[in-house]
Amino acid sequence: MKTATAAPPGGAPATAPRRVRRHLPTSPWLFLAPGLLAVTAFSLAPFLLTVGNSFTDNRTLVPGGFVGLANFRELLHDEMFWTGLRNSALYVLVTVPLLVLLPLLLAVLVQRHIPGITFFRAAFYTPVVASVVVVGLIWSWLLDDRGLVNGILEALGAGPVGFLSDPWLLLLSAMLLTVWKGLGYYMIVYLAALTNVPRELHEAAAVDGAGAVRRFVTVTVPALRNTMVLVAALSSVSAFKVFSEVYLLAGENGGPAGEDITLVQLVQQVGTGLNGRVGYASALSVVVFVVTLGLMLLVLRANRKEDA
Amino acid sequence: MRKFRIAALALVGVLAFSACTVGTQNVDTTSAEGEIRGTITFQTWSLRAAYRDYFEKLIDDFEKKYPGTHVKWIDQPAEGYADKISADAAGGTLPDVVNVSPDLAAPLAKAHLALDLDRAAPQYRDEYLPAAWKSSRIPGMKGTYAFPWYLNTGPLFYNKKLFAQAGLDPDDPPRTYDELFRDALTMAKRSKGRIATLASVPTIEDFGRYGVRLMNKSGTAFTFDEPKGVELLRRYKKLYQAGALDRQAFTSTPEQAGRKFMQQSVAMNPGSALDLDKFKKDAPSLYKNIGITDAPNNTGSPNMYVQGLMVNAAGDNKATAVAFAHFVTNAENQMAFAHETTVFPSTKGALDTEYFTRQDGTDKTRVRIASAKSLDTAVNYTPVLLSEDMKTALQNAVTRALRGDESPEKALKRAAEECNRLLRLG
C-alpha cells in the first residue's frame, strides 16, 4: 500500500507502479515465448533427439533399438573417426591463430583515415558475403592441376603442385580458404573494438618514445584482449565444425581415401542417405558437441587466468 | 538427489523421444486394390529440363484415360537424389510413384515402402524383358519392387585428335581392358604425362566388366577381393604411376572429370547421350573430334543401367499409382520416350523394331543400333545391395592401393570386409 500511495518523484500517477507489478510475472515470458519456442523447436529438441539417438542403432528408414554405449565404443575403433578428429583438431590449431592475428593487423591498417581506404575495407569484407559454394568452386578451379596457380608455377619452372590431389596440401588449401573467407568478418569485429581504445594511451606511449610496433604490442593488443578471446572462441568453434570448404575442395569422400575428412563431414557421410546410420552419426555429433564445448571452456578459462 | 532425479527423468524422456520413429512394418506391400481415382505424386530424376513436353503430354493422356485422376509431377536434380528420397521416406512424404535405380529401390523395399509387383501387379510381368523385370529383385527378399523403365548402356566418349597425336588409331578405340591399358600407357608416354586417358578411378562396374565376381550367388557376401580384382588394381596402379590416370582422379566428381574431358586434357570419359549436345555447344573443337564407343569389357557383356518406377506401398492411392507407373512404362510410351532421347525400352519386342535395327547412314542411328544390340547380352553389374557407404569404402580402398599406401590385396580385402559388415547391419 505504501508504494501505491507514495508520490513518485516526477509526479506521475500514484496507481501506476501497482499495475506494473501485477503484470510482472507473466509479461516477460510472453515476450520471450516466440524466441523460446523457436529455440526449443529448432535447437533444443533436435539436440535432445540427437543425444537420445546416439544410444540407439536407428537407421534412416529402419527404426532400431537401445544399444547403450555401443556406438561410442565403435567409434573408438573407427579409423575414420580418428582421421576426422585429427583433421578437425589440425584445422583449429592452424586457422585459429591466423584468424585471431591477421584480421587484427588488417583492422589496424584499414582503421587509418587515408584516401581510398573504404575501398580496401569493402574489398577485405567481400569474401564474407560471397557464397561459400561459389568461392569453393573458384578456388578449386584456381588450384586445379591445370588451374591458374599451377599455370603460374609452371611458368616459373616450379612444376604442377598437387593442391587438390595431395591430402596434406588439400587440407592446407581448405584452411587457407577458411582464413581468407573469415578475415573480413573478424576485421570488422576488431574495427569496432579499436574505436574503444583510448587515443590518449597511444599518444602517451608515443610521447614516451614507443614506435608503431611497440604501441601495437603494449597498447592495442592488451586493450583488445577480450575481443581477441571472443574471436578465438568463435573461430575455434567454427573451425572444429568445418564442413563446406573441405567438402568443396576435397570432394564428398573427404579427399583421397578420406584422408582429409573432418568430423562434421563424417557425420554427414555416415548419417545421410537411404542406408544412413542415424544412431552412429548421432554419437559422432555428441562427440563434436562435447569437444566444441571443451574448446569454448578452455578459451574462457585461459582468459580468466590472465584476468587473475 | 533431486538434481539426479531430474537428470534421470530427462534421459528417459530423451530416449523415449528418440525411439519415436515412423514405423512402416504394418504397411501392406502386396496389394494395390481400389478404384483408379484421386491425386498421386510422380517423381522423376532430373528429366524436367530436357523432356518437359513429353511428360506433360504423358500425364494429360493418363488423366484423360482415367477420369477423376490427377498426377502431380515433381522432378529432382541428379545431385543428392538419394538424400532427397531418404528425407521423404523418413518424413512420410515419399511420392506415390518414384523414379529409382535398383540400388535405390533395395533400401526402400527393405523398409516396406516399395510395393511388391509380383504380388500386387503380376498381370503386367509378361510385358517386360525378363532380365529387366528381375533387375529390381532384392537378394534375400521375395518380390520385384519397381516397374522396369528405360535402359541404357552408357557410351564411352574419346578424343580422336588426342588418339591420333599419340600415334593411336582414332578409329579403333580400346574394346578390352588389355587394349585400354596398352593405349593409355602409350598415350601417357608419347604426351610425356600431359594427357591422361582416364579421369576417374575404377568403380564397381569396372570390376564387373573386367570379369571380377562381385558377390556370392546367394547375395550374402562381397567377393570383389578375389585375385582378379587384385589384378585389376595392380594394372590401374601402373596407369597411375605412368600418368595415364589423372592425378586428381581420387577426388574428382563425374562433373569434374567431364570438365577435364571437355578441356581435352583427358582422352576418354564415360557419359550419356545428353553430353553430345553439351559438347556441341560448350566445346565445339572437341565435338569435331569426338569418338563414341562402348566401355571396355572382358566379359562380352556390357554394363546396363536400369531405371525403374517404384510404387510407394504406404501411399493413399496405390491402385492409381500402379496404373500410372504401368502407363509410363508400357510399350507405347517407352517407345515414344526412346524417340525423345537415346534410351532403350525395357518392354518385350521393342528392341526388334525398325527404329533399333535399320541403319539410315547417320552417326546417331549407328550408335543407337549398336547400343540396342549390345543390350542383348548386357548385365547390370552394380549389385543391388551395394549402398553408398559401401561404394565409399571401395573407392577409398582403390585410392589407397593406387597411391601405394596399401597393397592391392590388403586394400581390397579390407574393403570387402567393411562392405560385408555393412551388409550384415542391413
- Classify burial at A138, counting beta carbons within 10 Å of its beta carbon; exposed 0-12, middle 13-18, buried 19 or more: middle
Q: Which helix (H) or strand (E) holds B41?
A: strand B38-45
pLDDT over 90 percentage in chain B: 65
**Can you read off the three cell numbers belonging to residue A308?**
587473475
Q: Report residue B205's pLDDT band, with 50, 70 and 90 as the boundaries.
A: very high
Q: Does the beta-carbon distance from B14 to A60 stay under 8 Å?
A: no
Pairing of strands B38-45, B156-159: unpaired
B:48-87 residues touching chain A, CB 8 A cutoff:
82-83, 85-86
Residue B230 has pLDDT above 70, yes or no: yes
Q: Report residue A23's pLDDT band, with 50, 70 and 90 as the boundaries.
A: low
CB contacts, 8 Å: A270 with chain B: 389
* 3-class DSSP state of B97: strand
Q: pTM here?
A: 0.84
- Closest by CA to B14, choosing from A39, A63, A50, is A50
At the topology level, CATH places domain B159-302+383-425 in D-Maltodextrin-Binding Protein; domain 2 (3.40.190)
CB contacts, 8 Å: A272 with chain B: 83, 86
| Alpha carbon distance B205, B301 (integer Å) | 11
Mean pLDDT (chain B, rounded)? 89
Where are the extended beta strands (E) located within B53-184?
69-76, 97-100, 147-152, 156-159
- Classify burial at A92, counting beta carbons within 10 Å of its beta carbon; exposed 0-12, middle 13-18, buried 19 or more: buried
B:264-283 residues touching chain A, CB 8 A cutoff:
265
Q: Report residue B24's pLDDT band, with 50, 70 and 90 as the boundaries.
A: low
Residue ranges matching CATH 3.40.190.10 in chain B? 38-153+304-374, 159-302+383-425
| CB distance B276 to B205 below 8 Å | no
**Can you read off the three cell numbers belonging to residue A107?**
583492422
Work out the average pLDDT over B246-257. Answer: 89
Residue A108 has pLDDT above 80, yes or no: yes
**So what's the pLDDT on residue A19?**
54
B80-112 pLDDT, tens digit each: 898 899 999 988 899 999 999 999 999 999 999
B150-186 pLDDT, tens digit each: 998 778 899 999 999 999 999 999 999 999 999 999 9
Range of the domain at A285: 77-307
Which of A53-62, B246-255, B370-379, B399-408 has the least mean pLDDT? B370-379
Q: Report residue A308's pLDDT band, with 50, 70 and 90 as the boundaries.
A: low
Note whether residue A180 is domain-resident.
Answer: yes
**So what's the pLDDT on residue A12?**
46
**So what's the pLDDT on residue B378?**
85
Residue with the bigger pLDDT between A201 and B117: it is B117
**So what's the pLDDT on residue B130?**
87
Q: What are phi and psi of B41, to 5 degrees?
A: -110, 135
CB contacts, 8 Å: A257 with chain B: 250, 396-397, 399-400, 403, 405
A236-278 pLDDT, tens digit each: 999 999 999 999 999 889 999 999 999 999 999 999 888 899 9
**So what's the pLDDT on residue A5?**
41
**So what's the pLDDT on residue A21?**
55
* 3-class DSSP state of B324: helix
A181-201 pLDDT, tens digit each: 999 999 999 999 998 888 888
| Chain A positions touching chain B (beta carbons under 8 Å) | 45, 48-49, 51-53, 55-56, 58-63, 65-66, 140, 144-146, 160, 162, 164-165, 170, 250-253, 255-258, 269-270, 272-277
The count of structural domains within chain A is 1
Q: Does the beta-carbon distance from A61 to B107 stay under 8 Å?
A: yes
Residues 6+ apart with CB under 8 A from B216: B223
Give the C-alpha distances (Å, rounded to integers) separating A297 from A96, A242, B252: 15, 19, 39
Residue A306 has pLDDT above 70, yes or no: no
Q: Report residue A24's pLDDT band, with 50, 70 and 90 as the boundaries.
A: low
Q: Report residue B346's pLDDT band, with 50, 70 and 90 as the boundaries.
A: very high
- Closest by CA to B273, choosing from B206, B171, B372, is B372
Architecture of domain B38-153+304-374: 3-Layer(aba) Sandwich (3.40)
Which range scores top for mean pLDDT: B86-95, B222-231, B247-256, B380-389?
B222-231
Residue A205, domain CATH = 1.10.3720.10
Residues 6+ apart with CB under 8 A from A43: none
Q: Does the beta-carbon distance from A253 to B111 stay under 8 Å?
A: no
Residue B377 distance to chain A (closest CA, Å): 30
Pairing of strands B268-270, B147-152: unpaired
Residue B206 has pLDDT above 90, yes or no: yes
| CB distance A259 to A47 below 8 Å | no
**So what's the pLDDT on residue B369?**
84
Residue A156 has pLDDT above 80, yes or no: yes
Note whether residue A289 is domain-resident.
Answer: yes
DSSP-assigned beta bridge partners for residue A66: A56
B36-70 pLDDT, tens digit each: 999 999 999 989 888 999 999 999 999 999 999 99
Name the residue of chain B whose CA is nearest to A140's CA.
Answer: B256
Residues 6+ apart with CB under 8 A from B371: B152, B153, B155, B294, B342, B344
**Can you read off the three cell numbers belonging to residue B395?**
573407392
**So what's the pLDDT on residue B244?**
95
**So what's the pLDDT on residue A1?**
35
Cell numbers 492409381 correspond to B320
Residue A4 has pLDDT above 60, yes or no: no
**So what's the pLDDT on residue B217?**
86
Note whether residue A3 is domain-resident.
Answer: no
**So what's the pLDDT on residue B222?**
96
- Closest by CA to B71, choosing from B315, B358, B380, B369, is B315
A208-232 pLDDT, tens digit each: 888 888 989 989 999 998 899 999 9
Note whether residue A207 is domain-resident.
Answer: yes
Q: Does the beta-carbon distance from A165 to B251 stay under 8 Å?
A: yes
Q: Report residue A8's pLDDT band, with 50, 70 and 90 as the boundaries.
A: very low
Number of other CB atoms surrounding residue A296 within 10 Å: 16
Q: Does the beta-carbon distance from A275 to B387 stay under 8 Å?
A: yes
**So what's the pLDDT on residue A202?**
86
Residue B108 distance to chain A (closest CA, Å): 8
CB contacts, 8 Å: A276 with chain B: 86
